[in-house]
Amino acid sequence: MCETLGQTFSERLGYRVMRVVDLDRDMSDVIPTGLTPDSEFLFDRMTQLTLDRTFGASRGGVRPRVLDVASGVGQDSIALAERGADVIGVEPSSRMTGMATLFAADKPGPMPHFVRGWSDRLPFPDGSFDAAFCKGAMDHFDTPERAIEEMARVTRSGGRVVLAIANFESLACRVGRALDDFRQDWLRRAPLRSRRGYDAPSDHFTRYEPDLIREQAEKSLQVEHFEGVSLGWGMPGWSKWTARLPVRIARQAVVGLDRVGRQWPGLSDVIVLSGTPRRSESTSA
Ligand SMILES: C[S@@+](CC[C@H](N)C(=O)[O-])C[C@H]1O[C@@H](n2cnc3c(N)ncnc32)[C@H](O)[C@@H]1O
């Protein structure tokens, strides 16, 4: 079911801007099934780095208070709660918050709370968290800069905001696009795949690349870390190759490429950026 929510009216421009989001979305189209070694490595390392950077904001001995923005089905919130954080997941989809609450109910120990809400108007007071993170979701937001500003607002001074986002100018995207251009322009043949990995999917508002995420983040954050994760994911044929190689060799290959991606984050498949909130005069916490 699709609903139109939170309409904003731009009188100056003279048109209506509407936010249309599927509030029953359940991610069955996003979470990959039957992972190949390269995908498994990418998702795992992106998650671990994001959670490590987030948990790193804890003050010795005290359970850190953490906000997971666009928490989806809650797997990252749950993982941080298992590490000992007090976590709140905020997410507009009722189906996803419902699934997250069900998944958490099966686990022992203190579990996250999941609440419904939008990233551009987080329902929390200034400075109420030690850290806020958003993984793989900012390209779905209609006002991502506002979301970063909000994450900075609800995070305490000296706390940490962590953003993990796919890079659509990665080496793999550039090579895929160059090959398709060559096939189309010189060989007069169709692209290698119908779904071109270097084009942002239809449910993305923003096509992120390193300069853009840094530029948006720097308005609200003092950037501390700008890190690359994995290299070559989505390169034509690469997934099939890693699936055919012996497991140990495939692992060595993706780990080796990841090291290169760490050296050159601009070419990597995913960017993980973290920083401390810049405080504006209107924010006291
Ligand atoms: C690809 S999922 C990522 C979920 C989760 N962070 C993860 O890593 O599995 C994108 C999420 O963004 C949520 N979303 C879309 N627009 C949003 C907005 N304006 N504010 C907050 N969440 C939003 C969607 O409901 C969805 O759960």
DSSP 28-42: TTTS-SS--HHHHHH
Ligand 1 mutation pick, 48, 50, 140, max ligand atoms within 8 A of CB:
140
pLDDT of residue 188: 83
Any atom of ligand 1 within 6 Å of the Cβ of 92 = yes
Instruction: Extract long-range pairs of 14-23: CB within 8 Å, 24+ residues apart.
Output: 17/142, 19/142, 21/92, 21/93, 22/93, 23/92, 23/93, 23/94, 23/95
Nearest to 54 by CA among 97, 83, 90, 91: 83
Question: Of all protein residues, whose CA lies closest to atom 2 belonging to ligand 1?
Answer: 137
| CATH number of the domain where residue 161 is located | 3.40.50.150
The answer to whether residue 9 is domain-embedded is: no
pLDDT of residue 199: 79
Nearest to 216 by CA among 144, 272, 166, 133: 144
Nearest to 168 by CA among 81, 78, 98, 271: 271
pLDDT of residue 23: 60
Is the Cα dihedral 118, 226, 66, 158 positive or negative?
Answer: negative
Q: Are 160 and 144 in contact (CB under 8 A)?
A: no
The list of the chain residues with pLDDT below 50 reads: 1-13, 27-33, 284
Q: Is the pTM of this model over 0.75?
A: yes
The answer to whether residue 284 is domain-embedded is: no
Q: 210 phi and psi, to 5 degrees? A: -55, -45
Range of the domain at 180: 36-277
In this predicted model, what pLDDT tens digit does every residue of 171-213 receive, in sequence order? 999 998 888 888 888 888 877 666 677 778 888 889 999 999 9
pLDDT of residue 116: 96
The answer to whether residue 18 is domain-embedded is: no
Cα distances (angstroms) measured from residue 118 to each of 19, 87, 144: 11, 17, 11
Cα of 211 to ligand 1 centre, how many Å? 22
The answer to whether residue 147 is domain-embedded is: yes
pLDDT of residue 153: 98
The answer to whether residue 285 is domain-embedded is: no
- Secondary structure (DSSP) of 159-185: EEEEEEEE-TTSHHHHHHHHHHHHHHH
The two tokens of residue 231 are 């290299």
pLDDT of residue 237: 85
Any atom of ligand 1 within 6 Å of the Cβ of 176 = no
Cα of 63 to ligand 1 centre, how many Å? 25
pLDDT of residue 181: 83
The two tokens of residue 165 are 């986002």
* Ligand 1 atom, smallest distance to 23 CA: 25
The answer to whether residue 155 is domain-embedded is: yes
* Ligand 1 atom, smallest distance to 25 CA: 25
How many domains in the chain?
A: 1
The answer to whether residue 248 is domain-embedded is: yes
Angle of CA points 228, 233, 236, to nearest 5°: 145
If you ran DSSP here, which 8-state letter would residue 280 be given? P
Question: Of all protein residues, whose CA lies closest to atom 19 belonging to ligand 1?
Answer: 141
pLDDT of residue 189: 80
Nearest to 147 by CA among 119, 126, 127, 116: 119
Ligand 1 mutation pick, 47, 73, 91, 135, max ligand atoms within 8 A of CB:
91
The answer to whether residue 237 is domain-embedded is: yes
